[in-house]
Structures are given as structure tokens and as C-alpha cells.
Amino acid sequence: MSSSDQTRVQNINLTPDKVMHKLVSLAKRRGFIFPSSEIYGGLSSCFDYGPLGSEMKKNIKDLWWNSMTRRHTNIVGIDASIMMNPMVWEASGHVASFNDPMIDDRTTKRRYRADHLIENHIEKLRRDGKTEQAEKVQSVYEALATAPDMNRALYDLIVSQNIKAPDTGSGDWTEVRQFNLMFQCAMGAVADTSNIVYLRPETAQGIFVNFHNVRESSRMKVPFGIAQIGKAFRNEIVKGNFIFRMVEFEQMEMQYFVKPGTQIEAFESWRAERFNWYIEELGISPEKLHWYKHDKLAHYADLAYDIKFAFPFGIEEIEGIHSRTDFDLSQHQQYSGKNMEYIDQTTGERYIPYVVETSSGSDRLFLALLSDAYNEDVVDGEPRVMLKLSPKVAPVKAAVLPLIKKGEMGEKAEKLRDELSMSFLVQYDDAASIGKRYRRQDEIGTPFCFTVDHQSLEDNTITVRYRDSAYQERIDMSKAVEFLAVKLV
Ligand code: ATP
């Protein structure tokens, strides 16, 4: 094969609803994501990552981890336990108020988030050009935060606005009830209220309670950050949309401790850095990323933005960036009786640091990357499915394909595979036609295929085929490792 007989690629445009359907099916067929405990009928909102999925997820987490800890000399990582002393959750406010307001439809027996119904209604009014009405409803909604009976107020607003269920159009509403999202379990032999422990609903608290341990052991000075990747659990009321909202998911969080008064500057700097990370490091299409500023702030926050992504089913949050004030450390000081102050060794000042947090979900990001990458086109008249993943994210970095599986060609190809495998995840494939083998790799997002052919036996060169353009060129076989290393920087 020479670079002169190049292939031609034609794009196909897909509607968003089709993309989701095709993604779910590809994810299962090619070993990215399986329904959890599928042979027993599965478990709602629980999924397993397969061989390729777990590799890709690891790549995402490694990229995040390195961007936080390796590239910032003042950020270190921890891995805190999922179960903690239940007082942690009393102090953080989760026991009292990590609730979602839910409402049921009597006719369809479906359950909804009351606040989401209202927020979607306001958005729809805006989309329909009913700006004045949208603003009116928005201001009533914001005022509900101080309503003496929040549930009643939410219900009244839903009924007075004649809000219907978005999926069924029905609106036979029950009262609104608060539903705590934390999973409880009993630790030890006897199940009573004295030994209730919770599965953590966020990873952040493991960082706050370790503030002094990390600061002292790593000799950190404010401003500094603590990063963590770990599982979190939420008994979500509204499920669905594949891995977008799960009950067991993984967060990648970083809490950045700053001097009070400097939090907005730190916030803005992290806001810019995090947005760019998705584009520059992960290769996400910039036009699919959006900012959402929270007008209605949580009681502990003084500024909050979400980074949203245009999923096939709508524009939804993938990361929250929050300025959390000194709320968490102050609460832990009060509940634990331990001093959470920081003493500036140079000036002698004492204060409880303020916190800027960046909180991203690796599963949602996985779905964002898959849906951004999903592509169908026609190459040389043959349709193909391709995941246009950035080489850094792609689970398999290269495929080694001998044109003929037996003899010298096969041996050479195996040698190349062994060499590459020392540094990269590569696949070896010698079954079916070369065209079919390229398609198999395109479908899982492998950015490069190395083909060992007749010419390889003569001059030790191989063909490199580029996934996106189907362009081909020859390189010396001894340069293959270096070639990949350069492409993955
Ligand atoms: P949402 O409003 O969608 O429920 P949230 O505002 O409660 O999200 P945060 O508490 O800010 O989310 O969590 C930070 C990140 O953790 C989110 O941006 C998301 O990527 C991820 N995340 C939160 N809940 C889930 C979930 N149930 N399944 C998967 N990822 C989640």
C-alpha cells in the first residue's frame, strides 16, 4: 500500500435520538458498558464497565489526576474511605437536607423531581419567547427558598402554572415530598439506629475531614488543593439516560483551600482552567460545551457555575465549580470540636480557609466523550462506524495487523505487538480481510493501525493507517514506538 492510493471519506449526519440508541448498543457489543448483573435482569441505573470501557475510564481518570496533581505543585491527592463516621454527614448537612423534592403522577405512577419540572417549564417559556412570564415564574421560584412550607409552595407553583409531565403530558399530581438521597446501611451484627453508616454521596467530605492530616504530612501552605477520585452513591429518584445518572458513580473532585477574600480570583482561574481541559486535553468539541451560572445558590456557596455538555438528549451538567466559603471546615470544627483554622507562618494570621471546588463525574464525562465521538461515514463506498476519540482517551492506542497471518509476516507482526505492548495497549488482529479489521478498530476508536505486509519483509517498513481520514503512510518498523509516543503527548 502506498500513500498515493488514498481513500475517500464522506460524512453522514445523524439525528441525536439515533445516536443514543446506537451508542448503547455499540457500548455493549464492543465491551464498553454492560447492564449490571444482566443475567438476573439487571439493576436499575447500575452498569458495569467492560474490557474496553474500563480502559477508557482509566484513561479519563489518569488524565484528570495528572492534570490536577502532576501539573500543580500545590495539589496532592488522597483516597479516603467510602464509609465514614456518621457525624461527618450530620456536620455537612447531608442528613438534614440532602433531599430532592419529589412528586408523583397518580395516573401514570411516574415520579419526578418537582424542582426540575419547574426549571424545565421556565426554560420552555424562554424558548417559546414568553420572556416576561418566564421571569415572573423564575422570581417566584427563587423566593421559594425561604418559604415556610417549601413542599407546599413547590406544589402550588406546579399546579398554578399547569405544569405537566414532560414525557407523558399528564399532570395528576400528588403532594411534594422530600426524599433523602443517602444510602444507609448498618455496620456490625445488630441493626439499630446507633450503628447506621452511610455510603458517601460525594467525595468532598473525605477531603475536608483530612484537611489537617494532609496539610501537616505534606507541608502544604495555603493556597493548596487536595484531589480525589472515588465512588459516590445517591439514591436518585429520576433514573435513565444510560450512565448519565446512576446510583453508584464516580467523582473526580478537587478542593482548593484559599485565604478568605481571595476565593473569587481563585474561582475564576479554576473556571477557565477546567473549561479548557475538556477542549485541549480531551478533545471535546468546544461548541458542545456550555456555561450555566447558578442564580439560586446553595446556602453554603457564594458563587457557582456548571460546565454543561450537549448530550444527544439535552444540555446537561458534567462538572460543577463551586465557591463553598468556609462552610464545610466550620461545620466540622463545630461538630468535632477540633480546631480547623490555618495559621499563616509568615504573617501569623489565623483563619478558616475558604474552598473552591471542582467536581466532575467520570461516568458522565465518559458518556459525553462517547457521544461526541460517535460518527458514521462512508469510506471508499463502504459505510463505517467510528469513534473519533482523542488518542489519549481511546482505550486501544494501535492495532497490529499482519496481511497474512502465517509465516514471516505473522512473526514480524507479533514482534511488533510485543514491543508496543511494553508501553501501550495494542490489539493484534489477524482474522478476516484487512478492510474488515480496519472497521473493527474504527468502531472502538483505535487511532492507528499498523499493517505488516509484503514490503515489510523486504525493507522493514509498515503501513500506518490513520483512523479519521483513512490516510496511509509508511514508516520504519523500528520507529513505531516513537511514532505512538509522539501522537499521545
Ligand atoms: P445533578 O443536578 O445532575 O443531579 P448535581 O448538581 O447534584 O448533579 P454535583 O453534586 O455537583 O451534581 O456532583 C458533581 C458531578 O458529579 C456532576 O457534575 C456529575 O458529573 C456527577 N454526578 C452527580 N450525580 C451523578 C449521578 N447520579 N450519576 C452520575 N454522575 C453524577
Report the separation in Å between the CA atom of 246 and the middle of ligand 1, taken as the mean of its atom positions.
Answer: 9
Residues 210 and 172 in one domain: no
**Does residue 3 lie in a domain region?**
no
Residue 9: the pLDDT is 76
Atom of ligand 1 nearest to the CA of 365: 20
Residues 85 and 104 in one domain: no
Look up residue 314 and give its amino acid: G
Residues 203 and 162 in one domain: no
Residue 324, ligand 1, Cβ within 6 A: no
**Does residue 379 lie in a domain region?**
no
**Does residue 14 lie in a domain region?**
no
Residues 362 and 226 in one domain: yes
Residue 245, C-beta contacts closer than 8 angstroms, at least 6 positions apart: 45, 236, 238, 239
Residues 69 and 34 in one domain: yes
Residues 161 and 224 in one domain: no
- Phi, psi at residue 329, to the nearest 5°? -65, -40
Residue 236: the pLDDT is 87
CATH value at residue 460: 3.40.50.800
- Phi, psi at residue 37, to the nearest 5°? 40, 50
**Does residue 205 lie in a domain region?**
yes
Atom of ligand 1 nearest to the CA of 306: 18
Residue 123: the pLDDT is 87
Report the separation in Å between the CA atom of 234 and the middle of ligand 1, taken as the mean of its atom positions.
Answer: 9
Expressed as residue numbers, the domain containing 439 is 396-487
Residues 356 and 208 in one domain: yes
Alpha-carbon distance 385 to 3, whole Å?
23
Residues 134 and 73 in one domain: no
Look up residue 232 and give its amino acid: A
Residue 359, ligand 1, Cβ within 6 A: yes
User: Are 366 and 54 contacting, i.e. CB atoms less than 8 angstroms apart?
Assistant: no
Residue from 44, 116, 249, 316 whose mutation best tests the ligand 1 pocket (most atoms within 8 A of CB): 249
Residue nearest to atom 13 of ligand 1 (CA): 359
**Does residue 110 lie in a domain region?**
yes
Report the separation in Å between the CA atom of 133 and the middle of ligand 1, taken as the mean of its atom positions.
Answer: 29
Domain boundary among 127, 155, 180: 180
Residue 296: the pLDDT is 79
**Does residue 382 lie in a domain region?**
no
Residue 120, C-beta contacts closer than 8 angstroms, at least 6 positions apart: 166
How many folded domains does the chain comprise? 3
Residues 468 and 418 in one domain: yes
Residues 150 and 216 in one domain: no
Residue 115, ligand 1, Cβ within 6 A: no
What is the DSSP-derived secondary structure letter of residue 404? S
Residue 334, all three cell numbers: 463545630
Mean pLDDT by 10 residues, the chain (489 residues): 55 81 96 97 95 98 97 98 97 93 93 92 92 93 87 95 92 94 88 84 98 98 98 85 95 98 98 98 96 88 96 94 97 98 96 98 98 92 94 98 93 97 97 94 98 97 96 97 95
Domain boundary among 180, 208, 242: 180
CATH value at residue 279: 3.30.930.10
User: Are 122 and 138 contacting, i.e. CB atoms less than 8 angstroms apart?
Assistant: yes
List 399's β-bridge partners, or say none. 427, 449
**Does residue 191 lie in a domain region?**
no
Report the separation in Å between the CA atom of 361 and the middle of ligand 1, taken as the mean of its atom positions.
Answer: 6
List 466's β-bridge partners, or say none. 448
Residue 6: the pLDDT is 57
**Does residue 2 lie in a domain region?**
no
SS3 content of the chain, % helix, strand, coil (to 5): 40, 25, 35
User: Are 111 and 102 contacting, i.e. CB atoms less than 8 angstroms apart?
Assistant: yes
Dihedral of CA atoms 147, 149, 152, 153 in degrees, nearest 10, equals 0
Model-level pTM greater than 0.85? yes
Residue 301: the pLDDT is 93
CATH value at residue 148: 3.30.40.230
Residues 70 and 208 in one domain: yes
Look up residue 237 and give its amino acid: I
Residues 132 and 210 in one domain: no
Report the separation in Å between the CA atom of 287 and the middle of ligand 1, taken as the mean of its atom positions.
Answer: 22
Report the separation in Å between the CA atom of 219 and the middle of ligand 1, taken as the mean of its atom positions.
Answer: 32
